[in-house]
């Protein structure tokens, strides 16, 4: 039920930092999320309905809210209302035809004569937005240039640093930076603090972040290779920003949003002010092509179902495909430990994999130690996907299967991974 996941993700990204009060839209998103968890679909519909008419609601939130309403009406068996809201969602910009056509929440709408027309309209509008050629992808690095102008001024006048970053960096930002701010940064003061408390690090990465522009030909070449392996891949524009170590990469409707300061290692870079997990995650600029493929996979893969298993497969898939395309193992630091402890990791993972709590496996930097890395869910997901791919004779079809997983449990069974681990 992807609609529930979408509402969760939007609510999670909509909330501002603790220093800022939640907006009316934030509160309505949260109310819809809580109602949907309880399967109180009328209450969720009511919250989304109010949100859609709220002044200042962002177009993406409105579009996905309308889509979720269509899903809830579908689950309630109200086909006319489901179709009406799906039409409104498409007109508002929700045109993910792959998701619309496969979402089980909308199955009761399929028999109506309006269904094929709505799906065709979504595909038509989606085609206008789709980047199908790697050479048409825009790689924007202007936000990095703006950051360094702001950083120099902020260092000279630390008392006004927050205002300087707002004026010289955020207010001049690209569409990608604006989305990254909303999704990840959320607060000028906390951003300023994170930047200024690491002077040795930021003073040492200017050259490496500016060198990202030189990686553009390699990134485009990686995208060409991805298209050779998976001809229906959909590309997105890429925005490189400086985020203050809140996220190495995320996605929005604007494109792939990359925290350049987390992939800025190289000769002369001083990482002494970073904590253990940050130092371990701090990748060199040369890894940009594989990171770009990893993030692009997330825009081309099937939906998650909310379980830990689905989450790990989707992330492991991104690592696996990035390696397949570039030859570089993303998150390679996980593999020595994972390979040495695979049986015990699998035994522990099975106990939690059908639940919805990822805290022991994903984005769990607080569990990083010198002996054991965090994020081992990436490794488990990678190994499951690798097991499936290796046993398929038609590798191009295998990759298509992987990028279109609809049932994580069924995919795990087909991969033969559990049996392979048991034999080791």
State whether residue 174 is helix, strand or coil. coil
pLDDT of residue 17: 32
Instruction: Identify the structural domains of the chain with CATH numbers, from first to last.
Output: 2-129 (1.25.40), 134-298 (no CATH), 308-423 (no CATH)
Which two structure tokens, joined as six digits, stand for 65? 């809210």
d(CA 86, CA 94): 9
- The residue whose two tokens read 């949003």 is 257
CB contact at 8 A, 313 and 399:
no
Each residue's pLDDT, cut to its tens digit, for the chain (424 residues) gives 444 343 333 333 322 233 344 577 778 888 888 888 889 999 999 999 998 888 878 787 889 899 999 999 999 999 999 999 999 999 999 988 888 998 999 999 999 999 999 999 999 998 888 888 999 999 999 999 999 999 999 999 999 999 999 999 999 999 999 999 988 998 999 999 999 999 999 999 999 999 999 999 999 999 999 999 999 998 999 999 999 999 888 878 788 899 999 999 999 999 999 999 999 999 999 999 999 999 999 989 887 888 999 999 999 999 999 999 999 988 999 999 999 999 999 999 999 999 999 999 998 999 999 999 999 999 999 999 999 999 999 999 999 999 999 899 999 999 999 999 998 8
Q: What is the pLDDT of residues 214-265, one digit of tens each?
A: 999 999 999 999 999 999 998 999 999 999 999 888 878 788 899 999 999 9
Rounded to the nearest 5°, which phi and psi values hold at 252? -150, 180
Closest CA to 95 of 234, 237, 292, 229: 234
Cβ contacts of 149 within 8 Å, gap of 6 or more: 168, 169
d(CA 216, CA 211): 10
Closest CA to 152 of 206, 188, 88: 206
Which two structure tokens, joined as six digits, stand for 81? 């209302």
CB contact at 8 A, 133 and 235:
yes
CB contact at 8 A, 68 and 3:
yes
d(CA 303, CA 67): 15
pLDDT of residue 317: 97
pLDDT of residue 13: 31
Which two structure tokens, joined as six digits, stand for 259? 């925290």
Q: What is the pLDDT of residues 372-394, one digit of tens each?
A: 999 999 999 999 999 999 999 99
Cβ contacts of 315 within 8 Å, gap of 6 or more: 362, 377, 378, 381
Beta bridge partners of 251: 256
Task: State the pairing for strand pair 238-241/255-259.
Answer: parallel
User: Would you list the DSSP string of 230-293?
Assistant: -TT--B--EEEE--SSS-SEEEETTEEEEEGGGS-B-TT---TTS-HHHHHH--BGGGHHHHHH
């Amino acid at each position: 039920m992807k609609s529930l996941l979408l509402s969760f993700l939007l609510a999670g990204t909509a909330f501002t930092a603790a220093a800022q009060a939640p907006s009316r839209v934030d509160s309505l998103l949260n109310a819809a999320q809580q109602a949907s968890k309880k399967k109180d679909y009328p209450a969720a519909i009511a919250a989304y309905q109010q949100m859609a008419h709220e002044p200042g609601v962002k177009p993406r939130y409105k579009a996905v809210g309308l889509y979720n309403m269509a899903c809830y009406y579908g689950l309630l068996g109200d086909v006319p209302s489901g179709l009406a809201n799906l039409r409104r969602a498409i007109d508002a910009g929700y045109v993910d035809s792959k998701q619309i056509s496969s979402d089980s929440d909308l199955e009761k709408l399929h028999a109506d004569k309006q269904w094929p027309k709505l799906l065709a309209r979504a595909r038509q509008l989606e085609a206008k937005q789709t980047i199908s050629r790697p050479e048409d992808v825009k790689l924007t690095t202007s936000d990095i240039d703006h950051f360094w102008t702001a950083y120099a001024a902020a260092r000279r006048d630390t008392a006004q640093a927050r205002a300087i970053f707002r004026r010289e960096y955020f207010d001049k930002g690209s569409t990608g930076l604006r989305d990254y701010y909303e999704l990840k940064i959320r607060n000028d003061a906390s951003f300023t603090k994170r930047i200024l408390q690491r002077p040795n690090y930021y003073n040492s990465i200017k050259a490496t972040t500016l060198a990202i522009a030189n990686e553009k030909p390699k990134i485009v070449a990686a995208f060409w290779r991805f298209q050779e392996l998976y001809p229906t891949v959909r590309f997105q524009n890429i925005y490189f920003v400086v985020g203050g170590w809140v996220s190495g990469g995320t996605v929005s409707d604007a494109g792939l949003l990359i925290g350049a300061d987390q992939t800025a290692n190289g000769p002369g870079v001083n990482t002494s002010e970073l904590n253990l997990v940050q130092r371990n995650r701090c990748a060199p600029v040369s890894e940009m092509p594989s990171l770009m493929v990893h993030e692009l996979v997330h825009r081309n893969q099937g939906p998650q179902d909310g379980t830990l298993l689905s989450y790990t497969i989707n992330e492991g898939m991104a690592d696996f495909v990035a390696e397949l395309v570039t030859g570089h193992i993303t998150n390679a630091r996980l593999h020595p430990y994972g390979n040495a402890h695979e049986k015990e990791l699998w035994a522990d993972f099975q106990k939690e994999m059908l639940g919805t709590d990822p805290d022991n496996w994903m984005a769990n930097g607080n569990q990083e130690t010198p002996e054991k890395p965090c994020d081992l869910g990436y490794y488990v997901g990678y190994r499951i996907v690798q097991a499936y791919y290796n046993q398929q004779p038609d590798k191009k079809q295998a990759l298509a299967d992987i990028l279109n997983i609809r049932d994580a449990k069924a995919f795990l069974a087909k991969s033969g991974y559990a049996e392979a681990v048991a034999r080791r």
